[in-house]
Amino acid sequence: MGSLVKIAVRNLLRYKRRTLLTASLIAIGVIFVLVFVAVTGSFKAMMIAQNTDAMLGHLQVHRKGYVASIDNLPLNLNLMGGAIARLEKVLDAQPEIAAYSPRIKFGAMFSTFTETTNIRLNGVEPERELATVPLLAGRVLEGDKTLVRGKLWLPELLAKGMKVKVGDTVVIVATNKDGSVNGKPMVVSAILESATGPGGRDGYLHSEDAAEILRLEGREVSEVAIRLKGFDQLDAVSARLDTLLAKELNQMQKPIFELHTWEKLSPFFNIAKMIDVMTFFIKLMLIAIVLVSIMNVMIMAVYERIREIGTMAAIGTLPGKVLGLFLLEGFSLGVAGAISGGVLGTALVWVLNISHISYDFGRQKGLILQATVDPKELLMISLIVIAGAVLASLQPAFKASRMDPIKALRHL
């Protein structure tokens, strides 16, 4: 095997310029795919993180039927005390769950005494909310990053539109599920950066203030957002929770809860999927580049070395070894392209990162590109290239191994 590798490598080095050109072409393909995957991966990761870590959480549990009406924020579909306790018991037993945050979501009227508009509000337990969506505090553009009773975090667009500043007193007026209206004066303690995505333009207040405004008599929750210790555990935990929550039935023997991952709740999941589809097609293009370039080189190599192949066969080299030699040449070209492309691609990603390239996402301006090369992705791209190289060499190698020695020796 070692001797075959030696001969294969020397054969490649025989035509240095051609080998260099082919390996360069493959390397450019690898660099392109690697940088594309790293940059889109960074964008995708940022988008997912913005959605999950600043607003949604990784998973959400609602009362059955709530999500179908989520745009109305229906108070009559809140989870009540007993159901909440049963839910918390299930969630507390899951070791993968890092935190969860009960929310009271409702629509209200927002008044500055001179102007009035609508607002969507989340009544939260601040510590639990920040543990579940840790990037929420980072959205505070100005004001106090600690949410306390009587204070309101207001989305930036609404604050600008209503000309409200930190420290201003406003009134929140809401209708509870019985139809009675209640209002409460509150002080704006922070202006929140408006984020792109569901809940990105909601205001926040303490859950006790929400309960007071809505005149809740017992404990009520619209949704429970869940954060996992690892994002990669999402599918496994989601499947398990789905099974466990399906067993929690009401008096009618119907399921109480419904569970959704962020993917089902955010339209950005479709963008993430689109990025995956684009990545897939880019990888297909890479395979095409590898197949065409390697096959071209190997067909040329076989054609140029017909007499050598004839000599090898005449002196007793078995067809399998001739086949192996040409496959190794293709394999070596693939390895050279994959390694050089991998190294250069990683270096280029590093250069992109130190260049601090900024971009906008929705209303978020000046986000810094944080492209990362996933070792698994790098390995996968390398394997695709190498497998493609071997595949492309197969036909020329097979042709070489089946060559009639006499015809080959006569070839001019």
Partner 1 sequence: MALVTATGLEKTYIIGEVRVEAIRGVDFTIEPGAFVSFVGPSGSGKSTLLNMIGCLDKPTSGSLSVAGTEVASLDRREGARFRGETLGFIFQDFNLLPVLSVYENIEYPLLMVLETPASERRDRVMTLLKAVGMEKQQKQYPDQISGGQKQRVAVARALITNPKLVLADEPTANLDHQTAYKVIELMKTMRDESGTTFIFSTHDPKVVGEAETIYTLEDGKLMNHGKGGQNHG
The residue type of 11 is N
The nearer residue to partner 1, 301 or 390, going by C-beta atoms, is 301
Query: Parallel, antiparallel, or unpaired: how do β-strands 116-124 and 257-261 relate?
Result: unpaired
Smallest distance, partner 1 to C-beta of residue 23, A: 18
Closest CA to 58 of 154, 134, 153, 146: 134
Smallest distance, partner 1 to C-beta of residue 314, A: 5
Within 13 A of 179's CA, how many CA atoms are on the CB side? 0
DSSP per-residue string spanning 2-55:
HHHHHHHHHHHHHTHHHHHHHHHHHHHHHHHHHHHHHHHHHHHHHHHHHHIIII
Q: How many residues bind to partner 1 according to rule CB under 8 A?
A: 22
The nearer residue to partner 1, 155 or 310, going by C-beta atoms, is 310
The nearer residue to partner 1, 75 or 336, going by C-beta atoms, is 336
Binding positions for partner 1, 318-337, rule CB under 8 A = 318-319, 321
The nearer residue to partner 1, 315 or 354, going by C-beta atoms, is 315
Instruction: Provide the CA 102 distance to its chain's centre, in angstroms.
Output: 25
The nearer residue to partner 1, 2 or 95, going by C-beta atoms, is 2
**Tokens encoding 274:** 């689109």
Smallest distance, partner 1 to C-beta of residue 292, A: 26
Regarding 406 and contact with partner 1 (CB under 8 A), the answer is yes
Interface stretch with partner 1, choices 59-67, 150-158, 286-294, 404-412 (CB under 8 A): 404-412
Binding-residue pattern over the window 295 to 314 for partner 1, x denoting contact by CB under 8 A: ------------xx-xxxxx
How far apart (Å, rounded) are the C-alpha atoms in residues 247 and 235? 19
Smallest distance, partner 1 to C-beta of residue 390, A: 21
Interface stretch with partner 1, choices 1-9, 53-61, 136-144, 272-280 (CB under 8 A): 1-9
Binding positions for partner 1, 193-252, rule CB under 8 A = none
Query: Residues near 155 by Cβ (< 8 Å), separated by ≥ 6?
Result: 191, 192, 194, 200, 201, 202, 203
DSSP per-residue string spanning 87-149:
HHHHHHT-TTEEEEEEEEEEEEEEE-SS-EEEEEEEEE-HHHHHHHSGGGGGGEEEE-SS--T
The nearer residue to partner 1, 219 or 321, going by C-beta atoms, is 321
Regarding 315 and contact with partner 1 (CB under 8 A), the answer is yes
Binding-residue pattern over the window 4 to 23 for partner 1, x denoting contact by CB under 8 A: x--x--xx--x---------
How far apart (Å, rounded) are the C-alpha atoms in residues 183 and 409? 98
Smallest distance, partner 1 to C-beta of residue 409, A: 7
Residues that bind partner 1 (CB under 8 A): 3-4, 7, 10-11, 14, 307-308, 310-319, 321, 405-406, 409
